[in-house]
Chains A and B, each alone.
Chain A
Amino acid sequence: MPLSEILFWFLTALALFSALMVVFSDNPIHSVLWLIMVFFAISGHYILMNAQFLAIVNLIVYAGAIMVLFLFVIMLMNMNTDAEPQKSQWMRIAAAVSGGALLLILVAALKDNAGAVSRTSGEGSIGLIRNLGKVLFTDYVLPFEISSVLFLSAMVGAVVLGKREKNSKPVNH
């Protein structure tokens, strides 16, 4: 068994195990830490597929920024078992059935398209930063530029919401 294949199976097992632990661990902080593990395992997969840029971005954005946000939110909300809202039995059954149905359909669809999604690892150079930059600034330059409007409006929105109004009293917590 070549090294890359061993790595592939190791990362796959790690990702699946960590993902399960995210769901099953009682402490939300532990869930978040396991989720970071999932992201690292997936980044490893990206590197195996020769997509270094995606791997690094995945780490910086997800395992870095978004996870810190998650941790802050969980700590601010002070979540524990008492504060957990009680879900009715029917709600749980309905959620499990609909989620299971979606899973079934997704698995069936992927199984039918097994040929289309198989990719040998370590080949192709589309994921290299050099090629990505080229594509981004030639073929996809218009969406790239237009996304600046999206970020601008998000920034303006954040300022509008965050600015304290002159006549309003400060909110006490």
Chain B
Amino acid sequence: MNSILVSVLWGILLMYAGFLTKNKRSISVLAVVGAVAVLSANALEYMGLSFFDIDTKGMLFYNPYSYIFLVVIHASLLLYFLLSGTEVEETAATPSDHYALIFFVASGISIIAGFKSLLMLFLGIEIISIPLYVLAGSDKSNLKSNEAALKYFLMGAFSTGLMLMGIAFLYGDSGTFYLEGINMGATEMSPLKAIGGVLILASMAFKVSAAPFHFWTPDVYDGSPTVFTSFMATIVKSAAFFAFIKLFEGAFGKIQGQWQVLLAVITALTLIVGNITAVFQQSVKRMLSYSSIAQAGFMVMGIFAMNLMAKQGLVLYFAAYSVASIAIFAVLAKLKDHSVDAFNGFAKAHPLVAAVVLICLLSLAGVPLTAGFFAKYYMLVAVLKNGTMYWLPVLAIVCAAVSVYYYFRVIQAMYFKETEAGSVAEIQFSSSFKVIMVVCALLIIGLGIHPDWLMDLL
């Protein structure tokens, strides 16, 4: 609750800050302060200090799991602001408004973290989605950005329609919006519940870009300004996954056996489509879009398994995936050219930043001693513990092996190829940028050696 309030208020504050100052730098600083404020407000509530106490009629309820998830999200947001603040200033004509939109998204994520009623789920998802449509199209003179925004908006509106229809069917079946009410006593699927569940499943799969609902992802992620792609592909995707698991555990937990096959198919498709298509991409930005689909495949495995290990592992996955992707996207946003060749000779020109990117890519590939390894490990063990469909982990491991290929192409370009024109040497990385990058690397390695730092909290 604290974080909802603080992020909304800070969004409004940033909106007005645009009138008070034209200095873009100070607006970025204000946004960083806001991220710290939201983070600490949430931490305070976790420790038992609520700013206010209202009767939500049981529509919002936060447990330690949601609080830790929010801590991960807000920490990623802080890292994102610190790394990509200068890019937001450059891309956006009015950074104050764009920061305001990002804070509204943050408030939506806080709602998602604690929803107990489908009404709040819908509001949260919409508060997250609508600012994103705008952010995707914020580079108004770029046709690809316009296309991304329009595609995202049309497809997103359609999937929202599906979700509303699903909610209506669930309401028709159980007469309540509350998750407990929908889950209660239902050991078998009634037809209405089945239709509602499948419709909601389709719309949630769309939001997390799981195959076969992933077609918008590459175009939207590729067309949007890189800074906002970074935000969409990491923080927002994690939030959508959190909503996904919370919804399916809360409303359909008792009938897990009946939708598991469906999710297994979605998982397998997502893993195969994401990884195989990523192999053929020439642009790093597009490759990262497909890799985000591939990573989503691993995360859907957590929803498939739906046990304690899967729930804990998902939050670790969010942390590992978000930190690594935010760092890579931050570097990518500084490059003018997004092809793999643009990374040629990067290691010679910027050894420190290249090393951090190396660690992030290794983490995304799931190499041991990085957070990505344990994230993937938890997902696999969760599915094994579930006791059915042993082919799924096998497929996932094969796909992870495929993913090594495309992540290593970037590493190869950075370390083993010579640059032609010296274009990478022209990029300047400020010292504060380097410090934050090192913090990202330390986080990844720290969580890779001691995942229990995060897991014990859950």
At the interface with chain A, which of B29-37, B93-101, B279-287, B361-369?
Answer: B93-101
Please report the C-alpha to C-alpha distance between residue A23 and residue B313 in the assembled complex, in whole angstroms: 49
> Could you list 8 A-B pairs, sorted by A, with CB under 8 Å?
A105-B195, A113-B190, A142-B54, A143-B119, A146-B127, A153-B11, A161-B140, A168-B141
Find out whether the CB atom of A157 lies under 8 angstroms from the CB atom of B123.
no
Excluding A106-B195, A117-B172, A146-B4, 18 further A-B contacts by CB distance (< 8 Å) are A139-B57, A143-B119, A146-B111, A149-B8, A150-B127, A152-B12, A153-B101, A154-B130, A156-B15, A157-B130, A157-B131, A157-B133, A159-B97, A160-B98, A160-B138, A161-B134, A161-B138, A161-B140
Please report the C-alpha to C-alpha distance between residue A35 and residue B56 in the assembled complex, in whole angstroms: 39
| Partner among B107, B117, B140 whose Cβ is within 8 Å of the Cβ of A149 | B107
In this assembly, does A173 line the interface, its C-beta being within 8 Å of a C-beta of chain B?
A: no
In this assembly, does B59 line the interface, its C-beta being within 8 Å of a C-beta of chain A?
A: yes
Find out whether the CB atom of B140 lies under 8 angstroms from the CB atom of A113.
no
Known: A105-B195, A156-B97, A157-B101. Contact between A142 and B60, CB under 8 A? yes
- Which one of A105, A109, A166 has the highest number of Cβ atoms from chain B below 10 Å of its Cβ? A109
Residues 117-147 of chain A: 1 if any B CB is under 8 Å from the residue's CB, otherwise 0? 1000000000000000000000110110011
In this assembly, does B137 line the interface, its C-beta being within 8 Å of a C-beta of chain A?
A: yes
95-113 of chain A: CB within 8 A of chain B: 105-106, 108-110, 112-113
Chain A residue with Cβ nearest B108? A149
In this assembly, does B397 line the interface, its C-beta being within 8 Å of a C-beta of chain A?
A: no
Please report the C-alpha to C-alpha distance between residue A159 and residue B93 in the assembled complex, in whole angstroms: 12
Chain B residue with Cβ nearest A148? B8
Interface residues in chain A, defined as those with a beta carbon under 8 Å from any beta carbon in chain B: 105-106, 108-110, 112-113, 116-117, 139-140, 142-143, 146-147, 149-150, 152-154, 156-157, 159-161, 163, 165-166, 168
Please report the C-alpha to C-alpha distance between residue A94 and residue B250 in the assembled complex, in whole angstroms: 35
In this assembly, does B191 line the interface, its C-beta being within 8 Å of a C-beta of chain A?
A: yes
Q: Interface residue tally of chain B, by bracket?
A: 35 or more
Please report the C-alpha to C-alpha distance between residue A104 and residue B276 in the assembled complex, in whole angstroms: 36
Residues of chain A within 8 A of B186, CB atoms compared = none
How far in angstroms is the closest Cβ of chain A from B159? 16
Residues of chain B within 8 A of A105, CB atoms compared = 191, 195
Please report the C-alpha to C-alpha distance between residue A34 and residue B360 in the assembled complex, in whole angstroms: 57
Please report the C-alpha to C-alpha distance between residue A70 and residue B98 in the assembled complex, in whole angstroms: 29
Residues 130-164 of chain B: 1 if any A CB is under 8 Å from the residue's CB, otherwise 0? 11011001101100000000000000000000000
Chain A residue with Cβ nearest B124? A146
Known: A113-B192, A161-B134. Contact between A143 and B93, CB under 8 A? no
Please report the C-alpha to C-alpha distance between residue A147 and residue B172 in the assembled complex, in whole angstroms: 23
Please report the C-alpha to C-alpha distance between residue A142 and residue B413 in the assembled complex, in whole angstroms: 52
Residues of chain B within 8 A of A112, CB atoms compared = 190-192
Find out whether the CB atom of A160 lies under 8 angstroms from the CB atom of B101.
yes
- Which one of B60, B134, B173 has the highest number of Cβ atoms from chain A below 10 Å of its Cβ? B134
Find out whether the CB atom of B134 lies under 8 angstroms from the CB atom of A143.
no
In this assembly, does B126 line the interface, its C-beta being within 8 Å of a C-beta of chain A?
A: yes
107-132 of chain B: CB within 8 A of chain A: 107-108, 111, 117, 119-120, 123, 126-127, 130-131
Residues of chain A within 8 A of B131, CB atoms compared = 153, 156-157
Interface residues in chain B, defined as those with a beta carbon under 8 Å from any beta carbon in chain A: 4, 8, 11-12, 15, 54, 56-57, 59-60, 93-94, 97-98, 100-101, 104-105, 107-108, 111, 117, 119-120, 123, 126-127, 130-131, 133-134, 137-138, 140-141, 169, 172-173, 190-192, 194-195
How far in angstroms is the closest Cβ of chain B from A64? 20
| Partner among B93, B111, B127 whose Cβ is within 8 Å of the Cβ of A153 | B127
Please report the C-alpha to C-alpha distance between residue A105 and residue B54 in the assembled complex, in whole angstroms: 42
Please report the C-alpha to C-alpha distance between residue A116 and residue B133 in the assembled complex, in whole angstroms: 39
Residues of chain B within 8 A of A113, CB atoms compared = 172-173, 190-192
Please report the C-alpha to C-alpha distance between residue A7 and residue B122 in the assembled complex, in whole angstroms: 35
> Which 3 residue pairs of A and B lie closest in terms of their CB atoms, listed nearest first?
A109-B191, A157-B134, A153-B104
Find out whether the CB atom of B191 lies under 8 angstroms from the CB atom of A142.
no
Please report the C-alpha to C-alpha distance between residue A165 and residue B137 in the assembled complex, in whole angstroms: 14
Please report the C-alpha to C-alpha distance between residue A140 and residue B56 in the assembled complex, in whole angstroms: 8
| Partner among B57, B104, B192 whose Cβ is within 8 Å of the Cβ of A152 | B104
How far in angstroms is the closest Cβ of chain A from B163? 15
How far in angstroms is the closest Cβ of chain B from A153? 4
Residues of chain A within 8 A of B59, CB atoms compared = 142-143
How far in angstroms is the closest Cβ of chain A from B112? 12
How far in angstroms is the closest Cβ of chain A from B173? 8
Find out whether the CB atom of A116 lies under 8 angstroms from the CB atom of B104.
no
Please report the C-alpha to C-alpha distance between residue A147 and residue B8 in the assembled complex, in whole angstroms: 12
How far in angstroms is the closest Cβ of chain A from B115? 10
Residues of chain B within 8 A of A146, CB atoms compared = 4, 111, 120, 123, 127
How far in angstroms is the closest Cβ of chain B from A14? 23
How far in angstroms is the closest Cβ of chain B from A69? 13
- Which one of B117, B138, B192 has the highest number of Cβ atoms from chain A below 10 Å of its Cβ? B192
Find out whether the CB atom of A160 lies under 8 angstroms from the CB atom of B192.
no
| Partner among A143, A152, A161, A165 whose Cβ is within 8 Å of the Cβ of B123 | A143
Please report the C-alpha to C-alpha distance between residue A153 and residue B97 in the assembled complex, in whole angstroms: 10
Find out whether the CB atom of B57 lies under 8 angstroms from the CB atom of A142.
yes
Please report the C-alpha to C-alpha distance between residue A139 and residue B194 in the assembled complex, in whole angstroms: 28
